[in-house]
């Protein structure tokens, strides 16, 4: 017998009315077998359980005697807490109130967690959802959790899993657990046997760093990450799973996301697994913080001449406009190195100082000579307005080391210092720029740190540049002057003095009907120089004059591309 839009209500009583189950099924087409035990439902099937849960599908077969429903195609089950299960095949037992999906299944929980798995069991009596198959959970922040199995407690909104557990968060960090609890209502995660790989660039000093945390336990919520019995390092992996060059071990490590600070209880700093420093309490800003007082990430170094070393920088935010970073480099076999960096911003200028000091080698030899070593670098830049809105810039730079090999030996690197540099530069520079004139004055001292140079120093004093528009009118066109006077002394007794004047003249442009544009141009160069002990130049005072006049013609050619509505400009030029 077939009926359209027929509603059949089945009421079953068992065990002498100890309990009663009700089931209501709706469908477009219903077929009932003669024995009245098997019913088939097709088209917009809707199943309502007595506890208010709903199941929809394209097809269902109901066995009245067994109290068993088989559902196929586009199966969607929804409970009163708004947990939604989607599959293409499921079986529902009205006696046990268990829904079992077979094959790929997707679940949207009441807290908007997305679950992708297979063969999932929904027990409405015990109020849990369970699967022993591999499952992926995506939370509301797009973090992905990979599980070998799971159990979800409906009433408490908690996921549980034991086994190999991986998490990849929305910052590309990866976690590994052996056991995990996820409270979707509190948005909190508890786990054991943690390995966390911090893949964000903020935690890396250089591209080879592998920041990671190992811990016995972890607790994660929106505000904090707390690790129990943790080990932290940023060092790269070593062959044969050897210990990292340095680690920070702590009974508790806490990362406060709001305060952007990492705290350690009973912090023990180790170098190659050897305890170096113990601190009952240690804290430092996390790498996302731009300016705040506190310890920065430790750094490890290992060189042939100095051996293993560890540095622990401390950043001190003196005020809004100034700060200081103090870094101590401790070496196992050598004297320490102390470096300070001072930065200050003024209204129209900036000052940076970088200085360092060490007593030198502790263990001396023929190649390792004793003696203190130090450096001082500075950079000051000031810009200010002059009359008629002219731009004025003053720069002062100093670079000094007490030993030629000092920078490379200690591999000092900062905003001002680069240990790869072989030339030091100290200079004073001033420039003035207005509508009609540009003027600059510069004095520079270069120091060569290479061994094969007999004379380390080169002096440029003065270095004067003038750029001025002499006139511009319709009758004569325009004339500009570029003049440079420079005195250079190097290799002890070599001196050159150059005064070069360039006059650049241009007559007004002529535009012809053909599209060709032309103008008369002229260039006159006056070179005056005097040198001493330089083979490639005359030693007596020399004056030279060069000049040329020509006609410059050019035409602008435009190519239009109608496909992508773009234009290309090509300008051929010819000088007669």
Q: Flag whether pLDDT at 1 surpasses 50.
A: no
| 210/199 Cα distance (integer angstroms) | 7
Q: What is the mean pLDDT of residues 45-51?
A: 87
Tell me, what's the pLDDT at 253? 96
Please give the residue that has the higher pLDDT: either 56 or 20: 56
Tokens for 194? 């943690």
User: Residue 159: what pLDDT?
Assistant: 94
- Is the pLDDT at 406 greater than 70, yes or no? yes
Q: What is the mean predicted confidence (pLDDT) over 39-63?
A: 89
Of the candidates 90, 99, 13, 87, the one whose C-alpha atom is nearest the C-alpha of residue 53 is: 99
| Residue 546 confidence (pLDDT) | 92
67-93 burial, b for 16+ CB within 10 Å, e for fewer?
A: bebbbbeebebbbeeebebbbbbbebe
pTM of the predicted model as reported, rounded to 2 decimal places: 0.63
Q: In what helix (H) or strand (E) does residue 561 lie, and over which residues does it extend?
A: strand 557-561
- What pLDDT, on a 0 to 100 scale, did the predictor assign at position 442? 96
Task: Please compute the mean of the pLDDT values over residues 255-262 and round it to a whole number.
Answer: 88
**For range 162-177, the mean pLDDT:** 93
pLDDT in tens, 199-258: 887 777 677 788 899 999 999 998 999 999 999 988 888 887 777 888 899 999 999 988
From CA 289, how far away is CA 317, in angstroms rounded?
Answer: 12
Nearest alpha-carbon partner for 90 in 117, 66, 108, 69: 69
Residues, the chain, total? 576
Give the pLDDT band of residue 6 (cuts 50, 70, 90): very low
pLDDT of residue 2 exceeding 50, the answer is no
Of 82-96, 273-287, 376-390, give the lowest mean pLDDT range.
273-287
Residue 13 has pLDDT above 70, yes or no: no
Question: Which of 16-20, 170-174, 490-494 shows the lowest mean pLDDT across its residues?
Answer: 16-20
* Nearest Cα residue to 137 out of 149, 154, 153, 122: 149
Quote the CA–CA distance of 375 and 354 in Å, as a whole number.
Answer: 8
Q: 153 pLDDT exceeds 80?
A: yes
Mean pLDDT of 333-359: 95
Give 508-552 as a DSSP string.
PPEE-TTSEEEEEEEEEEEEEEEEES-TTS-SS-EEEEEEEEEEE
Give the pLDDT confidence score for residue 472 in this predicted structure. 87
Q: Which of 79-83, 302-306, 321-325 has the lowest mean pLDDT?
A: 302-306
Per-residue pLDDT, 455: 80
Question: pLDDT tens digit string along 367-389?
Answer: 888 899 999 999 999 999 888 88
Q: Which residues, listed in sequence order, are joined to residue 396 by a DSSP beta bridge?
A: 380, 428
Residues 388-394, mean pLDDT to the nearest whole number: 91
pLDDT at 331: 87
Mean residue pLDDT of the chain comes to 87
> What pLDDT score was predicted for residue 36?
64
Q: Is the pLDDT of residue 393 over 90?
A: yes
**What percentage of the chain has pLDDT greater than the value 70?**
95
Q: What is the mean pLDDT of residues 320-341?
A: 92
Whole-number pLDDT of residue 453: 64
- pLDDT tens digit string along 121-130? 999 889 999 9
What is the mean predicted confidence (pLDDT) over 488-517?
A: 88
């Amino acid at each position: 017998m077939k009926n359209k839009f027929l509603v059949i209500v089945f009421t079953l009583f068992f065990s002498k009315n100890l309990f009663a189950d009700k089931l209501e099924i709706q469908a477009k087409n219903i077929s009932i077998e003669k024995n009245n035990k098997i019913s088939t439902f097709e088209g917009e099937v809707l199943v309502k359980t007595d506890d208010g849960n709903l199941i929809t599908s394209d097809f269902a077969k109901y066995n009245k005697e067994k109290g068993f429903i088989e559902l196929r195609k586009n199966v969607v089950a929804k409970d009163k807490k708004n947990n939604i299960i989607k599959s293409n095949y499921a079986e529902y037992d009205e006696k046990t109130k268990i829904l079992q999906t077979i094959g790929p299944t997707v679940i949207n929980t009441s807290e908007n967690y997305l679950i992708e798995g297979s063969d999932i069991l929904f027990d409405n009596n015990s109020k849990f959802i369970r699967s022993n198959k591999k499952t992926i959970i995506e939370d509301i922040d797009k973090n992905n959790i990979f599980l070998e199995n799971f159990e979800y407690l409906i009433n408490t909104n908690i996921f549980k899993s034991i086994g190999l557990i991986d998490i990849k968060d929305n910052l590309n960090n990866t976690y590994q657990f052996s056991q995990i609890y996820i409270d979707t209502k509190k948005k909190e995660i508890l786990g054991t046997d943690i390995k966390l790989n911090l893949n964000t660039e903020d935690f890396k000093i250089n591209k080879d760093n592998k920041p990671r945390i190992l811990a016995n336990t972890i607790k994660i919520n929106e505000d904090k990450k707390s690790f129990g019995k943790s080990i932290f390092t940023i060092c790269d992996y070593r062959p044969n799973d050897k210990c990292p060059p340095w680690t920070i071990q702590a009974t508790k490590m806490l990362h406060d996301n709001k305060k952007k600070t990492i705290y350690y209880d009973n912090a023990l700093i180790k170098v190659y697994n050897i305890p170096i420093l113990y601190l009952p309490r240690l804290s430092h800003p996390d790498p996302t913080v731009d300016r705040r007082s506190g310890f920065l990430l430790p750094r490890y170094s290992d060189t042939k001449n100095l051996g293993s070393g560890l540095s622990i920088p401390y950043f001190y935010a003196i005020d809004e406009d100034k700060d200081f970073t103090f870094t101590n480099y401790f070496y196992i076999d050598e004297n320490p190195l102390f470096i300070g960096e001072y930065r200050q911003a003024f209204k129209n200028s900036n000052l940076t100082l970088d200085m360092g000091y060490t007593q030198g080698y502790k263990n001396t030899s023929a190649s390792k000579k004793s003696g203190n070593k130090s450096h001082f670098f500075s950079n000051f830049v000031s810009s200010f307005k002059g009359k008629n809105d002219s731009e004025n810039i003053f720069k002062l730079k100093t670079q000094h080391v007490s030993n030629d090999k000092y920078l490379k030996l200690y591999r000092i690197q900062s905003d001002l210092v680069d240990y790869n540099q072989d030339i030091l530069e100290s200079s004073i520079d001033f420039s003035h720029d207005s509508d009609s004139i540009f003027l600059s004055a510069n004095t520079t001292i270069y120091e060569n740190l290479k061994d094969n140079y007999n004379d380390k120093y080169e002096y440029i004093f003065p270095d004067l540049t003038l750029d001025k528009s002499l006139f511009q009118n319709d009758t004569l066109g325009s004339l500009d002057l570029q003049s440079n006077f420079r005195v250079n002394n190097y290799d002890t007794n070599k001196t050159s003095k150059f005064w070069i004047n360039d006059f650049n003249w241009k007559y007004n442009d002529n535009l012809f009907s053909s599209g060709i544009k032309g103008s008369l141009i002229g260039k006159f160069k006056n070179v005056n120089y005097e040198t001493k002990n330089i083979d490639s130049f005359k030693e007596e005072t020399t004056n030279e004059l060069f000049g040329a006049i020509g006609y410059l013609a050019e035409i602008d050619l435009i190519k239009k591309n109608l496909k992508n509505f773009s234009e290309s400009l090509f300008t051929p030029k010819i000088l007669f």
